[in-house]
Homo-oligomer: A and B are copies of this chain.
């Protein structure tokens, strides 16, 4: 049954997750850098919050968005529920804490080394953050990979805000869940392995990229 649709489903999975990770990186990396660099009140609290948010259950994110975006919800008029956009938002929310936490750790370590040098140059905080992000970029790739892994394999949130609607919002994980609920376990596992293969291909691409970055940086 799925042979014809599989490309459609894989493509949507990729599109949603890659988009979500890009958005999450755009938020998470600067956030992590700010937490690594900043010495402001509430910084520890913010760090802990972000770390705790890595444990945000996808179902809860899905529900929260559902309540917001549903017809009767405050953002109902946007008509985003059961669209890929809603799924992207949901995954972005889930992935951002992961990328932010990871970035914070990596950038903190580098900051310990660069801090005084950059302050002696009178670099602004923004410049410090930029320098750290640039010089740790090969390590940040691991954060993106972790985020992408989470996004691609996530089901709880996309199921609720996407609805697993055939030809519209069905992605790999929700398709797997569907086949599972139909009792087609072998098919479900095969789909899972395709998803894994996909993750592997993306990894090869990114590791090649990271190796280049590392070579540039000569760590």
Which A residues have a C-beta under 8 Å from some C-beta of B? 44, 47-49, 51-60, 63-64, 66-67, 97-98, 101-102, 104-106, 108-109, 112, 139, 142, 145-146, 148-150, 152-153, 155-156, 160, 172-173, 176-177, 180, 185, 188-189, 191-193, 195-196, 198-200, 202-204, 206-207, 219
Contact = CB atoms under 8 A, between A and B. Distances in A.
A207 B47 contact: yes
A145 B195 CA distance: 25
A102 B145 CA distance: 10
Given A112-B219, A139-B109, A59 B180 contact: yes
B60 A195 contact: yes
Contacts of A47: 207
Given A55-B198, A60-B176, 15 more contacts: A51-B142, A52-B196, A52-B199, A53-B196, A54-B150, A57-B172, A57-B176, A59-B155, A59-B188, A60-B193, A63-B176, A98-B149, A106-B106, A146-B146, A156-B177
B60 A102 contact: no
Contacts of A152: 55, 57
B105 A63 contact: no
A117 B39 CA distance: 33
Nearest to A149: B54
How many identical subunits does the complex contain? 2
Contacts of A54: 145-146, 148-150, 153, 199
Contacts of A52: 149, 196, 199-200, 202-203
A57 B102 contact: no
A44 B148 CA distance: 19
A76 B104 CA distance: 44
Nearest to A193: B60
